[in-house]
Chains A and B, each alone.
Chain A
Amino acid sequence: DTAVSQTPKYLVTQMGNDKSIKCEQNLGHDTMYWYKQDSKKFLKIMFSYNNKELIINETVPNRFSPKSPDKAHLNLHINSLELGDSAVYFCASSRVPVQGVAEAFFGQGTRLTVV
């Protein structure tokens, strides 16, 4: 059983389109995250949700909107896609932080290519 699953794995789309990436975790975790990894492998936190509530919203364009229908799901919707949005997007989950962030479990990533 996959602990954190993302769909799709690959996404190729044209500039200006709107797309969504879905994420589900079956670990019973209350905290979920979205990270963006650029071409130089730099991982940047985008959003952090704790029990469906937005905790962190880093400097991310408001074209990016996370949605958490329940604590097992955190989807990422992107409006008006731009070339610079091309990257690998990772969903992750962890237990609620107690004395620091716990071990995070990552999905396999979604490689988004905007053409």
Chain B
Amino acid sequence: SQQGEEDPQALSIQEGENATMNCSYKTSINNLQWYRQNSGRGLVHLILIRSNEREKHSGRLRVTLDTSKKSSSLLITASRAADTASYFCATDFNQAGTALIFGKGTTLSVSS
């Protein structure tokens, strides 16, 4: 069963602009994670935010979490061409937390 839904499905921006991707989920969670997937490659973990946190930063990444709205956003500031990739949010279930359930992803294209 799918847990997360990213929005938008695709995003095209110019280098230097900010990119914002949103994720909504259905059930209560322990944590929410964001991953990046470059074309033809495996997924790479970007950031994890716990259910009791509201905001987290890592370099040019800023993640927010609103558990009341069951939503999260990923902001990439000052985008670079190398940020071109698909971005996925992933959640677990607030029980055993036995696996990550991924959303459909946002495809980000950054042109120079």
Chain A residues with CB under 8 Å of chain B are 4, 33, 35, 40-45, 48, 50, 55-56, 90, 92, 97, 99-109
Contacts and interface: CB of A to CB of B under 8 A. Distances in A.
27 contacts: A4-B42, A33-B99, A35-B102, A41-B86, A41-B107, A42-B102, A42-B104, A43-B43, A43-B88, A45-B99, A50-B98, A90-B43, A97-B96, A97-B98, A99-B50, A100-B29, A100-B30, A100-B31, A100-B51, A100-B92, A100-B97, A101-B31, A103-B33, A104-B33, A106-B43, A107-B42, A108-B41
Contacts of A102: 48
A101 B51 CA distance: 12
Interface string B64-81: 000000000000000000
Contacts of B107: 41
Interface in B34-92: 35, 37, 40-45, 48, 50-51, 86, 88, 90, 92
Given A99-B50, A106-B44, 20 more contacts: A33-B100, A35-B102, A40-B104, A41-B105, A43-B105, A48-B98, A56-B99, A99-B30, A99-B97, A100-B29, A101-B30, A101-B33, A101-B100, A103-B33, A103-B45, A104-B33, A104-B35, A105-B45, A107-B42, A109-B41
Given A55-B98, A56-B99, A97-B92, A103 B42 contact: no
B101 A45 contact: yes
Contacts of B88: 43
A79 B2 CA distance: 26
A48 B99 contact: yes
A43 B36 CA distance: 13
B43 A41 contact: no
Contacts of B41: 108-109
A44 B104 CA distance: 10
